[in-house]
Each structure stands twice: as structure tokens, then as C-alpha cells.
Amino acid sequence: MSEDLARQSRIPDGSSASEVDCPRGGVPAPQPYACPVSTTTAPGDTVIQPSAAEAVRIGVLAVQGDVREHLAALTALGAEAITVRRPAEVELVDGLVIPGGESTVMDKLVRAFELREPLLRRIAEGMPAYGSCAGMIMLADRIVDARPDQQTLGGLDVTVRRNAFGRQVDSFEQDLEYAWSDPSDKDTVHAVFIRAPWVEEAGPGVQVLARVSEGAAAGRIVAVRQGNLMATSFHPEVGGDRRIHAEFVSIVRAHRLQQSGASQSPEREDTA
């Protein structure tokens, strides 16, 4: 890996990729890089204890971006949250969160860490994935203003525009109507937009979960889901609202239960 890429991934020169700072603890995470609950949750957080059937391991792509906030949110919801920085770790998880950051840098680091091919394969196999901000770009099939050499993992039949809302100084917050999985839930979500993309076009199989409600960008799509893939332009991990992460954890649990059921079903014998 080049010195420039190492700096962008915030890995100290000469240190192991396993030396990951856990949220609010600063203690390097041991193999398999799962941070203990005490370092991933804020004081006063209630940690949900799932049943054995509901236990899932969710990875956070940890090459660049706001990794620790996602780890904290997932852990508070009862998931085993681990960092993913090596190809072997891609195989350990039931689902993956791709955090915010800088999409072009993230793309380069995913390739530098030889993560691209295993991630493409797992997503194609149906592994649930959630991308926030830059993560939305990474999951998009198409980018309007991509750099010449920029690649995405794809999977979402959407076209996105990078930095659509402007520069860092144009960052803003807004309450949005959101299509929760529970139709009776009419609560809004408080969205934090930081150099965020938006969805220019969504394919027929894509469910639009949220749009900008006011301002010059009113009506722009900022949250989508397609099958096991989900993405938001905004950063739910920043404000401490766990509901977006809870929706994703539910997707991961449902997929894992489905996979477990399929693997345990006896083969049916054909009879004459």
C-alpha cells in the first residue's frame, strides 16, 4: 500500500491492520476485531440482548470514514459489531455497513486491501449491506460525476450524484418523513447531511424511503432500499437515533434466519 493511501486510511506506519481504535475507548480491538460493549456504547445506552436465534454479526467497513459511530449503534442494538479490513473478515459477517467518508478514497482503499472481489461476491450472494453517505455511492450501480477511475461495488439500481448538496460549509440538518418497515410508524427521522450525495434516478425495483422535505433540493431522494441493500445520503449514526440501524439489523436477522432455515431443510426425494 502506498504511503498516501495508508495516511488516508489512518493506519499508522508499520502497525497492523488489526490495531483498530474501538469507539470511546481507544483500545485496539482483538481478533476478530470485535469491540467490547463497554467501548462501543455511550453512557446511559441500553444494550439490547438478542436471543440466540436473533444473534447476528455485522461488519463495518473500516478502511476510512466514521467507523466507530456505526459500531456503537450496532452494538447498542444487540448485534456483534466488528471491523472489516481484510478479505477473510468479509466471510465472517452476516451483513455489512459501509460508512460515510470520501467515496473516491474508499474505493482506492477497498482495492488496496484486496476487499473488492470478496465484497462483490458476498453482495451478489445476497448479503445485506447498508451504506450511509459515501456508502450510498459505493452501493450505487451508477455515478453521474464519478472520477475517471472510480469504481463502486454496486447492487442498488440507482444513479447518484456525489456532493450533490454542496461543500462542507453547506452541511445541514432536516427532519424527514421516512417509510419505516412498520407502516403504523409515522415518526420523522432527523437527518444530518454532510457533503452528501442524492439519488438522481431509481430503478423500478428500488423502494424510495425518504426525500428532502423542503428547500432548493425538496423532493430529492435521500434514502432507498432494494432487497437486502439499503442506503441513506445522511448520517443517522451522528445524531444518536438508532432507528435506521435497527431497520438494517432487522434485515440482517431476517436474512440469516432465512439462510439457516434453507440450510436445515431436508432434501425432498422425488417419488414416482
Provide the annotated active-site residues. 133, 235, 237
The answer to whether the CB of 195 falls within 8 A of the CB of 161 is no
Q: Is the peptide bond preceding residue 28 cis, with omega within 30 degrees of 0?
A: no
Nearest partner of 137 among 125, 121, 122, 154, judged by Cα: 154
Task: Give CA 143 to chain center in angstroms.
Answer: 18
**What single string gives the DSSP state of each residue in 171-213?**
-EEEEEE---SSTT---EEEEEESS--EEEEE-TTPEEEEE--
Tell me how far CA of residue 115 lies from CA of 44, 63, 84, 164, in angstroms: 36, 10, 9, 27
Nearest partner of 196 among 234, 153, 247, 143, judged by Cα: 234
Joined together, the cell numbers standing for residue 3 give: 504511503
